[in-house]
Chains A and B, each alone.
Chain A
Amino acid sequence: MNRNFKLVYKSLVILAAIIVTLAISSLILVVLGADILRTFETIIITPLTRVGHITEVFVRAVPLCIIALGVAVAYRSGIVNIGAEGQMAMGVLGFTATALALPDLPKPILLPMALIAGVLSGGLWGFIPGILKSKLEVSELLSTVMLNYIAAQFYSFCLRVPMMDPAEALSGAGTPQSARLTTNIEIGRITGRLHYGLFIALALAVIVYLFLWKTSYGYKMRASGSQPRAARYGGIAVSRYVTLAMVISGAFAGLAGGIEIAAVHRRAIEGVTNNYGFSAVVVALFGMLHPFGIVPASFFFALLIYGSTLTPRAVGVPANIVDVMQGLIIMTIVTTQMILQNDYLMDRVWHWWCSKRKAKEA
């Protein structure tokens, strides 16, 4: 089997995977009675055609990227964090509470302080499942999901009672949201709603890469995640690093929440977390748990998420179609990986191709 054949074979498999994904999506769209081509165009092409759209894609990519980086740190350390949604909500609360409590501090002090409060709140929400797992072997799948519910309810409570905008209470409208925060916590915007948080996300990607692969902490965390028994044998305090990984993961989600408020909403409102915490798990896996994969992956998923907000108006397709496509993409990735690893199949294709070529020559 020669090298060219392998290359062509693998490219064809990947191409086929893309076609299959599109085909199944199309089938669903047909059932919905939608215009297939225009739907795809709306989701994938339209957001890239105008600066205004592209900036909105980036606005969604930033929290996805930051949270996914944290999820990857946890995953690499042997603990699955599906609690980022709650950790992000806690980060928003920490950030908002600080901003509401100390509105008169100058910006160079208040903004970092509020962001740190967000990081700490998210980190605390990650610490709980981390310590439960390492000390009591409580499954993190269970604890993080439950903590998501607690965080969501607590968030809702805060916006309705202690943090509610006094103006809302006065007017009697009662919209659950905080007062508009002081301008001293704002992160600047580049154009449209695109903000400087983008650079924070990119810098974090580099930092996570350096942390995981170039520091002794990263080494020990990866060892703990990859084979805990060997790590323990090597004198690594596995439970400490698993907990630390979860704290870092939560801190990233908390930071994403803080940035989201500081740069986009500038007050705590309902729905800030926007399922970013869950999508980020997909982004992290799609990016192969590597920062340099996560950056493009977060852009791609942000594109899908933003594109889907356009479909109801443009082509009358519900936005949830993107959730369906996300599921399809995950399944296709897994299947494609299996097929690419199946040497026997490749071998058979090679033999089939050789015999065909021979038949032609004869």
Chain B
Amino acid sequence: MSEKITSLRMEHITKRFPGVLAGDDISLEVGEGEILALVGENGAGKTTLMNILMGIYQPDEGRIFINGNEVRFRGPEDAFKVGLGMVHQQYMLVGDMTVTENVALGYKQAWKPMKLDLDEVRRRVVEVSDRHGLAVNPDAYIWQLSVGEQQRVELVKTLCLGARFLILDEPTSALTPQETEELVDLLKKMKEELSIIFISHKLNEVKAVSDKIAILRHGRIVFTGDTADHSSSSIAALMTGHEIELPENKEADMHGGLALSIKDLCVRSDRGNLALDHFSLDIREGEVVGLAGVSGNGQRELAEAVNGLRAVESGSISFFGEECAGRGAHQMIEAGMGYIPEERNIEGIVPAFSIKENLILKDSENPRFSKHHLMKRKAVMENAERLRKDFDIRCPGVDTAAGSLSGGNIQKVILARELTRSPRFLVAVYPTRGLDMGAVESIHKELLAKRKEGIGILLISEELDEIMNLSDRIAVIYKGRVQCVMKHGEADKRRLGIHMAGLEEGSDE
């Protein structure tokens, strides 16, 4: 084991991509036992900068020093050797292997000639998880674990491989609020032994966990300082370049007609168990119904069933008075359903397709874009250029592959497509998960504007602030059933939290 990392310094890092300056003369420093929060909007260059630090990208200019010595990394392996470890936003775990086996993949000490010493790996996993209070079962298969548990496995894995400096890329973007709190506590304990760079744009976590803060905007460091000296709102303003005020739904009830009525819906998950168990919910036109709940309680299956992407076991889905249970995706789209899916990177877009092609994903047979099955090149192009401007999609050009965009911009592509197809109803699943404040603000505004037009919206989210800000009514889902429905104003975080945990109000907490 090599020495402890007491200081890490990046000097004048510059990185250009075709059409984008992803890093512009960036200098950063992290000292011993410090947590540095690296914050910035989506596409500001946070992940790029960390990929440079880990040797995944090579900087065009600039140098990196560890404990005062200059280092050059050929790839992540070199960075590991020095003691840097990164937990990526997308977990790098093999689903069909156990926790121990996943750690063994990179744990070279256990690679004996002709034999993999899994017992030694298992001991190491237990040792590390005990030492840092990271509860993981070394024999569990990854597919059995929740997202929060998988993240702990990533942390354990990184630490087992000898990391003495941790880089966490948006570690909370897929976590529930409770899991996030646990993680914050954990990191605070861990910093006694190592330094951490914590990438995020959720300012309450940043405030809770970090000692220092560095703000990136358009590839430049615009601010560095001690976290304690600055309020969340001043950090938010620095991050986006303007004051952020999340919109709230304060409109009066529109008394619209019934748009979507779900009765006694039963749907099975991929594993075959009942994910929705006699689920019932009504949503009217011009109404936002927020569906709160810990993820994995049937939200995904609900969204897919309503959009014709999952078979319905029993029950009814009535869409503007028409029975739609068992219809296919195409028919639901034709009926006027708009859908912002949970997996924006692989379901909401075809990553290898250009932005302009993705913007017509549901409309390739629409007379606007094709005639006698021949695509109208010009119309497709004009549509893309218009939406790019209207929705502020930041990209080198509309011919760029959509998969190369940042998460926020991908979501803008999806929103642009779904909102401008003039839907009669909208299902939005975790629409702002992992996005920065600026993007959240604009998405919330778009959704409320649609509500004003008289469109009913089913908003599935775990962000309680988001649900409480936007919804006319709030329903809580627990184990595939509606636990309760509240009016806007009746709900507060405590009450929602109780229902989300499946408890009854008034019972002992």
Interface residues of A (CB under 8 A from B): 1, 214-217, 219-220, 222-223, 226-227, 229-237, 343-344, 347-348
B312-339 CB mask vs A (1 if < 8 Å, else 0) is: 0000000000000000111011100001
Asked if B346 and A219 make an inter-chain contact with CB atoms under 8 angstroms apart, the answer reads no
Give the nearest-CB partner of B365 in chain A. Answer: A216
Query: Measured between C-beta atoms, what is the minimum distance from B23 to chain A in Å?
Result: 15
Binds A, one of B81-89, B240-248, B350-358, B390-398: B350-358
The closest CB in chain A to the CB of B371 belongs to A216
Q: Which of A230, A231, A344 has the most CB of B within 10 A?
A: A230
Do A216 and B373 have beta carbons less than 8 Å apart?
yes
Taking the closest CB of chain A, its distance from the CB of B311, in whole angstroms, is 13
A214-B374, A223-B353, A226-B352 are contacts. A233–B364 as well, Cβ < 8 Å? no
Q: Of A214, A230, A234, A348, which is within 8 A of B346 by CB?
A: A230
Q: Is B495 an interface position by the 8 A CB rule? A: no
Whether B353 contacts A233 by the Cβ 8 Å rule is: no
Q: How far is the CB of B363 from chain A (nearest CB, A)?
A: 9
Chain A positions within 8 Å of B350 at CB level: 223, 226-227, 230-231
Q: How far is the CB of A2 from chain B (nearest CB, A)?
A: 12
B353 near A235 with CB under 8 A, answer no
Q: Of all chain B residues, which has the CB nearest A238?
A: B329
Q: Specify which chain A residues have a CB less than 8 angstroms from the CB of B341 in the assembled complex.
A: 233
Chain B: CB-nearest residue to A343: B58
B77 to chain A minimum Cβ distance, whole angstroms, is: 11
**Residue B370 lies at the interface, judged by CB distance under 8 Å to chain A:** yes
Which of the residues A214, A219, A232, A344 comes within 8 Å of B357, measured between beta carbons? A219
Interface contact B370-A234, CB-CB below 8 Å: no
- State A219–B361 Cα separation when bound (angstroms): 9
Specify which of A219, A347, A348 is in contact with B375 (CB 8 Å cutoff): A219
A sample of 14 cross-chain residue pairs with beta-carbon separation below 8 angstroms, ordered by A number, consists of A214-B374, A216-B373, A216-B375, A219-B360, A222-B353, A223-B353, A227-B350, A227-B351, A227-B352, A233-B361, A234-B362, A343-B57, A343-B58, A344-B75
User: Is B74 at the interface (CB under 8 A from chain A)?
Assistant: yes
Does residue B485 face the partner (Cβ distance < 8 Å to A)?
no
Evaluate whether A230 and B57 lie within 8 angstroms (CB atoms) in the complex, with A215-B375, A216-B365, A217-B373 already known.
no
Instruction: Give min CB distance, B343 to chain A, whole Å.
Output: 7
**B329 contacts A230, C-beta separation under 8 Å:** no
Contact call B347/A216, Cβ cutoff below 8 A: no
Q: Are B375 and A214 in contact (CB under 8 A)?
A: yes
Query: Is B128 interfacial (CB 8 A cutoff)?
Result: no
Q: In the complex, which residues of chain A have a beta carbon less than 8 angstroms from the beta carbon of B334?
A: 235
Q: Shortest CB–CB separation between residue B357 and chain A, in angstroms?
A: 7
The answer to whether B352 touches A232 (Cβ under 8 A) is: no
Asked if B309 is an interface residue, CB under 8 A from chain A, the answer is yes
Are the CB atoms of A229 and B346 closer together than 8 Å? yes
Q: Which secondary structure characterizes the binding site on chain B?
A: loop
Known: A219-B375, A227-B350, A227-B352. A1 touches B361 (CB 8 A): no
Q: Given contacts A233-B329, A235-B329, could you give 19 more A-B pairs where the C-beta distance is less than 8 Å?
A: A214-B377, A216-B364, A216-B369, A216-B374, A220-B364, A226-B350, A227-B349, A227-B350, A227-B351, A227-B352, A229-B347, A231-B361, A233-B347, A234-B361, A235-B330, A235-B332, A235-B333, A236-B364, A344-B75
Q: Is A230 in contact with B348, judged by CB distance below 8 angstroms?
A: yes
Does B60 interact with chain A (Cβ within 8 Å)? yes
Decide: B361 and A223 in contact? CB cutoff 8 A: yes
Question: What is the bound-complex CA distance between A237 and B60, given in angstroms?
Answer: 45
Closest-CB distance, A27 to chain B (whole angstroms): 31
Chain A residues lying within 8 Å of B328, measured Cβ to Cβ, are 235, 237
For chain B, the bracket of interface size reads: 35 or more
- Complex CA gap A347/B74 in Å reads 10
Residues in A with CB closer than 8 Å to B307 are: 233
Most chain B CB within 10 A, of A1, A237, A344, is at: A344
Chain B: CB-nearest residue to A348: B74
Residues from chain B with a CB closer than 8 A to the CB of A217 are: 373
Measured CA separation A53–B58 after assembly (Å): 50
- The answer to whether B309 and A233 touch across the interface, beta carbons within 8 angstroms, is yes
Specify which chain A residues have a CB less than 8 angstroms from the CB of B55 in the assembled complex: 344
Residue of A nearest to B363 (CB): A234
Is the CB–CB distance between A215 and B374 below 8 Å? Answer: yes
Q: How far is the CA of A226 from the CA of B352 in the complex (A)?
A: 7
The residue among A231, A233, A237 with the most chain B CB atoms within 10 A of its own CB is A233
| Distance of A247 Cα from B353 Cα, bound (Å) | 24
> By the criterion CB–CB under 8 Å, are B352 and A235 in contact?
no
B361 and A230 within 8 A (CB): yes
List B residues 366-409 near A (Cβ within 8 Å): 369-370, 373-375, 377
CA distance A226 to B74 in the complex (A): 31
Q: Which chain B positions have C-beta within 8 A of A214?
A: 374-375, 377
Inter-chain CA distance A287–B222, complex, in Å, is 47
**A218: nearest chain-B partner, CB-CB:** B375
Judge whether A216 and B329 touch: CB under 8 Å: no
Indicate if the CB atoms of A232 and B309 lie closer than 8 Å: yes
Is the CB–CB distance between B373 and A232 below 8 Å? no
Closest to A1 in B: B60
Tell me the B37-81 residues at the A interface (CB within 8 Å). 55, 57-58, 60, 74-75
CA gap between A274 and B329 in the complex, in Å: 44
Instruction: Give chain A nearest CB distance to B404 CB in angstroms.
Output: 14
Report the separation of the CA atoms of residues A74 and B108 in the bound assembly, to the nearest whole angstrom: 42
Q: How far is the CA of A216 from the CA of B365 in the complex (A)?
A: 6
Answer whether A235 and B357 are a contact pair too, CB < 8 Å, given A226-B352, A229-B347: no
Which residue of B332, B347, B365, B374 contacts A230 across the interface (Cβ within 8 Å)?
B347
A351 CB, min distance to chain B CBs, angstroms: 9
Closest to A234 in B: B361
A227 to B357, CA, bound (A): 13
Q: List 3 tightest A-B contacts by C-beta distance, closest first.
A: A235-B330, A234-B361, A216-B364
Q: Which residues of A contact B357 (CB under 8 A)?
A: 219
Closest to A345 in B: B74
Asked whether, in the complex, the Cβ of A235 is within 8 Å of the Cβ of B58, the reply is: no
A226→B401 CA distance, assembly (Å): 12
Q: Given the known A-B contacts A223-B361, A235-B329, A235-B362, are A215 and B373 also in contact in the complex, defined by CB atoms under 8 Å?
A: yes
